[in-house]
Amino acid sequence: MEFTHEQISEIISEITNGEEGLQGLVKQGLESLMLSECSIHNCSYQDVSNGYRERRVCHGGKVFELRVPRSRNSNFYPMLLGGLERSGRRSPETGE
Give CA separation, 13 vs 6, 8, 19, 24, 38, in Å: 10, 8, 12, 12, 28
60 located within any domain: yes
Q: What is the pLDDT of residues 53-96, one digit of tens each?
A: 999 988 888 889 999 999 999 899 999 888 776 665 444 444 44
68 located within any domain: yes
93 located within any domain: no
Contacts with 2 (C-beta within 8 Å, 6 or more apart), sequence order: none
12 located within any domain: yes
16 located within any domain: yes
Structural domains counted in the chain: 1
Spatial separation of the C-alpha atoms in residues 52 and 68, rounded to whole Å: 5
Look at residue 35 and tell me whether its pLDDT is greater than 60: yes
Structural domain span for residue 38? 5-87
For 4-16, what is the mean pLDDT?
A: 91
95 located within any domain: no
96 located within any domain: no
pLDDT band at residue 2 under the 50/70/90 scheme: very high
pTM: 0.75
